[in-house]
Structure 1
């Protein structure tokens, strides 16, 4: 027997995306700049996860839906006991997320502009991040806790004798969630997935 399951969801959002840049040219070879900008991404609907309360009757007829409910309770409530008096559902939608980014940097040229060095420091505040997570065997997108990202970037470009060129870029990033998020499973202070601390290329 398969329990019929229907769901509907809608998402709407609006906003502005401001950006501000200030530059100062020190001389022909050196300049500094500051930038502040906001990024915006529309929310959406998540894949539905069918659930039913973990009662004895439901367990007999709809074991899959009851199992989904117990898995959600285990993740959100951090409890292995499946309470038949509670019905938790995976979020049907996830919020729009925004990122405010702030950057300070400098660009310098040396040896008659045969060598350039770009150095920047940045900070980003990520509000309502859209995070993909597994819930009851379903991969869904949920709204996670706010996050902070800070880092440094360095780029060196030099023209060498005999037509050779030297290129070097590197960066350091410290990215972490600011609050506990039972839905995603990431606690406060946990590093944002797929964000390497150190990068380098040449």
Structure 2
């Protein structure tokens, strides 16, 4: 059930990043529209999962198959209608904005791809067991081992990119300036870690300070 709200959250974070690029540079317009459609669609999907009784959990709401069917039909209409409108209007969202590989736009694009990949991993882990059960192909349980093996390797580089992106300049940056900025940040983080070592022996507090 928690995954039902986590999936639109991941897409929403990617949408916020994409909106910042669209506002500042006029790029990522297609990304922004598709992420907005996906975020709302996943919110409806989460509502369907927790209201229809498909998922059994103490955190799910009242089971009502009739209401679940209504939400499912509404979801199909929203997704289908939105994609049809996008297909007709996509050619009107042209952008002449360009940027180099070493720029804030590039890192935000990589971050968006990683966040969407993370969402798809959660999507697969949530719906795959339900699909197998619906097709009478058996019952499986997808738990922490799957998400540790799939989700964590995706989010580790995403966190690294999130740390680098705010340092980079829009459109184009240079390696020497970035190296100097990263050096200063790393030195500051190491000093903060050393101070934390003197003040606390709790490894979790130290890790939080370092991050």
Which protein has the bigger strand share?
Answer: 1
Larger RCO (alpha carbons 8 Å, 6+ apart): 2
Which protein has the bigger helix share?
Answer: 2
TM-score range, shorter chain: under 0.3
TM-score, normalised on structure 2? 0.17
TM-score, normalised on structure 1? 0.18
